[in-house]
Amino acid sequence: MLNFHKEHKNLVLTAGGVFIALSTLIAILPAFQMQGTEPIPDEKPLTAHEEEGLRVYVSENCMACHTQQVRNIEMDNVWGSRPSIPSDYFYSKKRLDVWRQSPSTLGSERTGPDLTNIGARQPSEDWHLLHLYNPRAVVSASVMPSYPWLFKEVDSSYMPTDAKVVAVPKAYFNKPGKKIIASYDALRLVDYLKYLKQTELPGDNVNDFIPALKKIEAARSEDGTQSLDGANLYAQVCAACHQGTGKDIVGAFPSLVGSSIVNDENSEKLIRVVLQGYDARTDYGVMPPFGDQLTDAEIAAILTHERSSWGNDAAPVTEEDVAKIRQYLEMELNK
């Protein structure tokens, strides 16, 4: 009937027709289905500034190395508190303009960290700017490119009033009488990065992660309520600014080695700084609060690690200490 061996018309029409049918089934229909997605009640749309930042993100093709999807497997728990759901992308994945399509932010390579929740994990503008100017200034082993074209070199004397100066350590920029300021694009890009936070789902409606491999699971349950690994937590949460060695980056982040706050026998001030954040010194960047992000036990483990490493030698901090101060702070707020 169809005789594909001799009828070129039948051959081409069948091959094309079946392919179009299959494509409709497997791509177009599911894609249309996804158009019905609605945002999470608390989800915030992008502001004009954040939207501009997204455009910088696309134009520098950050998607080549950074994903924005928390998969529903346990290893991805470090990138967000819950697996990503279609609604998470309601505002950020819209067609950019006539020329460019909806940005492919989910990505397929994780050469660098996932950015789903970067705004919560790293809320400091100073850190982001310095990191963009030269990633190795804050993370020495980083292989991320630096983006000097998003910054301007200006004379200290002719500084525009609204300029945002980036505190670049001398090792990376050392010209007397000159300063590095962030360009408009850099500030917008950071706005966008700070926007990237997972919206909490209403109620207890949380879909869980698929547990990791059984072996690890078993090892974990054997430990029971085992002590948290402070060094590991420190590396994940704090080392981005305070370095793996606790050393300072002059002009950006203070040293923890021999610091009077860290080594203080009474750990109250130290715990306060972590819970509330810190902005007392103009010669350093602002430290964001971590109270919402870390549990008491985690904070205790990190601080114990800080107080016993790099030559620091102070008494460990317990979970109870942190809980006490947290309670105290809440009372203070409610007053």
Partner 1 sequence: MKNCKIGILLFLAVLPNILSAQEKITTDNWLSSPGIIGTFILIAIVMIIAIIILFIKLNGYIDSMKRRQLDKHRMAFDDEIVAMEGADIDTILEKRKAALTYKLKGDELSGDNEAVDDKGLLHRVEKDPNNAFFDEKKKTSLSLETPQELKKIVIYYIGAAAIWLVLGTLIGQYLGMKFLWPEMDQQSWLSFGRLRPVHTNMVFWGWSSLAMIGLGYFVIARTSNTKIYNYKWAWTAWLLINATIILGTLCLMAGINNGGGEYREYIWPVMILFAIGLIITFYNFYKTVATRKISEIYISNWFILAALIWTIVLAIIGYLPFYQDGLGETVIQGYYMHQGVGMWFMTFTLGLVYYYLPSALNKPIYSYSLGVLAFWTQMLFYTMIGTHHFVFSPLPWWLQTIAIVFSAGMVIPVVAGTTNFLMTMKGAWNHISKSYVLPFFLVGTVFYFVGSMQGSVQAFRFTNFVWHFTDFNVAHSHMTMYGIIAFFLWACIYAILPKLTGKEPSQVFVGAHFWLAFIGLFAYMISLMAGGTYRGLSWIDGNPFIESVILMTPYWVWRAVGGSLMFASHLVFAYNFYYMVKGYNKTKPSELAKPIEEITV
Residue-by-residue DSSP string for 115-166? -TTHHHH---HHHHHHHHH-GGGT-TT--PPP-GGGEEEEEGGG--TT--EE
When the beta carbons of 73 and 315 are compared against partner 1, the nearer one is 73
Q: Are 88 and 70 in contact (CB under 8 A)?
A: no
7-15, 189-197, 252-260, 287-295 -> range binding partner 1 (CB under 8 A): 7-15
108-116, 189-197, 259-267, 268-276 -> range binding partner 1 (CB under 8 A): 108-116
Residue-by-residue DSSP string for 269-285? HHHHHHHH-B---TTSP
Bridge partners of 165, per DSSP, are 181
251: left (phi over 0), alpha (psi -120 to 50) or beta: left
CB of 204 to partner 1, least distance (A): 19
Among 41, 44, 104, 313, binds partner 1 (CB under 8 A): 104
Q: Are 185 and 63 in contact (CB under 8 A)?
A: no
Among 2, 45, 106, 159, binds partner 1 (CB under 8 A): 106
Among 43, 51, 89, 187, binds partner 1 (CB under 8 A): 89
Handedness of CA 167, 171, 177, 181 (dihedral sign): negative
CB of 109 to partner 1, least distance (A): 6
CB of 113 to partner 1, least distance (A): 5
Q: Are 252 and 171 in contact (CB under 8 A)?
A: no
Alpha-carbon gap, residue 267 to 303, rounded angstroms: 9
> What residues numbered 272-331 form the site for partner 1, per CB under 8 A?
none
Is 171 among the residues that bind partner 1 (CB under 8 A)? Answer: no
CB of 26 to partner 1, least distance (A): 5
When the beta carbons of 72 and 318 are compared against partner 1, the nearer one is 72
> What residues numbered 8-67 form the site for partner 1, per CB under 8 A?
8-9, 11-12, 15-16, 18-20, 22-23, 26-28, 30-35, 37, 58-65, 67
Is 139 among the residues that bind partner 1 (CB under 8 A)? Answer: yes
**Which x/- pattern over 212-251 shows residues binding partner 1 (rule: CB under 8 A)?**
xx--x---------------x--xx--x----x-------
Which burial class, exposed, middle or buried, applies to 136 when counting CB atoms under 10 A from its CB (0-12, 13-18, 19+)?
middle
CB of 230 to partner 1, least distance (A): 12
CB of 184 to partner 1, least distance (A): 15
80-88, 174-182, 186-194, 197-205 -> range binding partner 1 (CB under 8 A): 80-88
When the beta carbons of 12 and 315 are compared against partner 1, the nearer one is 12
**CA Rg value for the chain:** 25
124-132, 144-152, 262-270, 315-323 -> range binding partner 1 (CB under 8 A): 144-152
CB of 199 to partner 1, least distance (A): 13
- Contact partners, residue 175, CB within 8 Å, separation at least 6: 153
Residue-by-residue DSSP string for 177-221? TEEEEE-HHHHHHHHHHHH--PPPPSTT--PPPBP--HHHHHHHH
Among 142, 293, 308, 312, binds partner 1 (CB under 8 A): 142
Is 157 among the residues that bind partner 1 (CB under 8 A)? Answer: no
Q: What are phi and psi of 264, to 5 degrees?
A: -60, 135
Among 40, 49, 81, 146, binds partner 1 (CB under 8 A): 146
Report in angstroms the alpha-carbon separations of 200 from 1, 87, 187, 197, 211.
59, 12, 26, 9, 21
Q: Are 103 and 92 in contact (CB under 8 A)?
A: yes
